[in-house]
């Protein structure tokens, strides 16, 4: 049974930092590209960051570039999203997702999703 479990969300003030974690089990982690997405109330789910199987290729949404850092540890089956200088517009439920071979910016391509973790940034 494949499981993706996010953690690390919370309520913070603008300018603060958070580190989200995603623990993956039930699949060969090193064979999957990983993505982080977010969904704010009333909005569509949007791509935040993606990382290739080895970590050699990384992409970010323009809105988070320079503030967010995605990483992975294939020895621990974990992926992370380090977020600094958080803004109120970063408020959303954050999801990690796994896609065979290579990540993409399209949510529909992902086979597995976590349940999400809430990030709320107050002004």
pLDDT, tens digit (0-9, with 9 covering 90-100), for 67-102: 999 999 999 999 999 999 999 999 999 999 999 989
3-state secondary structure 26-92: CCCHHHEEEEEEEECCCCCCEEEEEECCCCCCEEECCCCCCCEEEEEECCCCEEEEEECCCCHHHCE
Least confident of 29-38, 43-52, 102-111: 102-111
- DSSP 8-state code for residue 104: -
108 close to 44: Cβ distance less than 8 angstroms: no
Three-state secondary-structure class, residue 94: strand
pLDDT, tens digit (0-9, with 9 covering 90-100), for 5-24: 999 999 999 999 999 999 99
Residue 80's pLDDT is what?
Answer: 98
């Amino acid at each position: 049974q494949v499981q993706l479990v996010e953690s690390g969300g919370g309520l913070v003030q603008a300018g603060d930092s958070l580190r989200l974690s995603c623990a993956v089990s039930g699949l060969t982690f090193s064979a999957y590209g990983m993505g982080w997405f977010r969904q704010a109330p009333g909005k569509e789910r949007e791509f935040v960051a993606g990382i290739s199987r080895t970590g050699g290729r990384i992409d970010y949404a323009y809105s988070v570039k320079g503030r967010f850092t995605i990483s992975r540890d294939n020895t621990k089956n974990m992926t992370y999203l380090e977020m600094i200088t958080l803004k109120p517009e970063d408020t959303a439920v954050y999801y990690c997702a796994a896609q065979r071979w290579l990540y993409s910016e399209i949510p529909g391509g992902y086979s597995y999703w976590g349940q999400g973790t809430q990030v709320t940034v107050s002004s």
